Amino acid sequence: MSTYTNAKELSNLALGKATSYCSQYNPELLQAVPRSLNRDSLELTSKNLPFSGEDVWYGYELSWLNAKGKPVVAVAEFIFPCTSPNIVESKSFKLYLNSFNQTSFSSWQQVEDALIKDLSATAGAKASVKLFPVNDCPALSLPTDTALCIDDLDIEVNQYQLTPEILTTAHKTNAESVDEYLVCHLLKSNCLITNQPDWASIYIKYSGKKICHESLLKYLISFRQHNEFHEQCVERIFCDIRNFCMIEHLSVFARYTRRGGLDINPFRSTTDEKAPKLRTLRQ
């Protein structure tokens, strides 16, 4: 079984190590992390995933030179299917994007093609890439959102290490069946390698027996000192809610704040829908 402990797949990552920055295009900077390092502990394999979904990243620090040597800047949307065998390690992603800075490309399309080719090779599945002018990226607008925020519930909290068992009190068999759309802005976890804090808003949409909001909030807060990558936290939340609560349909979407010019937004769902076009003020 693959686990994080002494995993050779993590030993050679640039993450957490002193790094020199390259400003000439270099796809070899990209590094992959197998999704199985997380999924084995959840008893998930590529053949029995209980969800569909995707990881949506936005890059805010992408620049290159045009054919005349003039700098071009763009905002990039990167989408990886959750069925890809690998995730792209985020520090290597930042270093890779930085390598475009002093490289000349003939067109935006040439840049997009290079990104698709390199990121697909690293993830092990076809990546989607779209480039936008910095003043015109519709996906990063701030639409009105209807999710019910559970942050203001008056609860007492004493658990800051991941405790999925909190969800055993999150439902009652005689509870009413509901359709709910909830959000919590209190999610914090820590990077698996560097222990740096990762901040996110977590959106949960479900149909089924009503989930106790207080228990759900305590559970989400219990990630506060938990170390795991963004994508893996979201899959854990999805699986825990599915395992402990009586739900029929479930979608979990995390909007993480950016670090180093990238934000990562994993979406997992029992349906085959795509991630919502959503952005928060903290992003």
Residues taking part in catalysis: 191, 198
Torsion angle (degrees, nearest 10) of CA 115, 119, 124, 127: -60
- Residue 148 in contact with residue 182, Cβ under 8 Å? yes
Which tokens is 148 given? 């019910």
| DSSP tag of 11 | H
Please state, in angstroms and rounded to a whole number, the distance separating the CA atoms of residues 140 and 224: 27
The Cα-based distances of 21 to 13, 70, 100 in angstroms read: 15, 21, 11
Q: How far is the first Cα of the chain from the last one, in angstroms, to the nearest whole number?
A: 36
Residue 71: count other Cβ atoms within 10 Å of its Cβ: 10
- Residue 215 in contact with residue 247, Cβ under 8 Å? no
Strand partners, 104: 65
Please state, in angstroms and rounded to a whole number, the distance separating the CA atoms of residues 283 and 281: 5
- Residue 71 in contact with residue 64, Cβ under 8 Å? yes
Strand partners, 262: 59, 259
